[in-house]
């Protein structure tokens, strides 16, 4: 059994064991993105969706994330913010074992995430993408995503725990290769 981490935000990791209910972790609460100031209603909806995700109420979380994505006024032309929500949606879909849809959500997040944005954010999205590919037994794609995540992690100021969990997961994929 491979345990690759879902990286929900710069300081939150969610192992696949936790996502599927076989392991419990105490989670940290942090803001999704510190850039910009957003409408209170948007923040409330986003926090509600994140709470639903952490409570493992995946259908409700998915619906709320999709409602946020479908509301263009919520982003005020802030594509990195939209990318973060797509990343969360991908995590939610993965937790429901709907990895093909999760992959599409992560790809949208990468498309929307400007390359000038911090490498750690792109690394986390690639790490999540690797997890979904691995769940679908697409090892080559999972390894490629891990390598891309590793390249971005190397050029970022990521905390040691996030980096070590990722390296452990990558190592597991390599061992099985």
- The pair of structure tokens assigned to 154 is 């190397």
Look at residue 10 in the predicted model and tell me its pLDDT.
37
pLDDT tens over the chain, length 177 residues: 333 445 444 333 444 444 444 433 333 233 333 334 445 677 788 899 999 999 999 999 999 999 999 987 766 667 778 888 999 999 999 999 999 999 999 999 999 877 766 678 888 899 999 999 999 999 999 999 988 988 888 877 777 777 777 777 777 777 775
Q: In the block, which residue shows the tokens 């995700």? A: 53
Question: What does the longest C-alpha to C-alpha distance in the chain come to?
Answer: 47
- Please return the burial class of 166, using the count of CB atoms within 10 Å of its CB with bins 0-12, 13-18 and 19+: buried
């Amino acid at each position: 059994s491979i345990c690759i981490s879902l990286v929900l935000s710069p300081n939150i990791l969610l192992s696949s064991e936790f996502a599927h209910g076989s392991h419990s972790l105490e989670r940290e609460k942090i803001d999704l993105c510190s850039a910009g100031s957003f409408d209170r209603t948007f923040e409330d909806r986003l926090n509600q969706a994140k709470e639903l995700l952490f409570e493992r109420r995946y259908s409700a979380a998915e619906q709320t994330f999709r409602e946020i994505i479908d509301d263009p006024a919520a982003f005020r032309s802030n594509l990195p913010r939209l990318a973060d929500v797509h990343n969360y949606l991908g995590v939610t879909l993965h937790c429901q074992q709907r990895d093909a849809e999760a992959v599409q959500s992560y790809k949208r997040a990468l498309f929307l995430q400007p390359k000038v944005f911090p490498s750690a954010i792109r690394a986390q999205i690639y790490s999540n993408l690797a997890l979904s590919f691995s769940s679908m037994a697409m090892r080559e794609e999972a390894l490629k995503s891990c390598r891309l995540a590793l390249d971005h992690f190397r050029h970022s100021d990521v905390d040691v725990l996030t980096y070590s969990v990722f390296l452990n997961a990558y190592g597991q994929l390599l061992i099985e290769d």
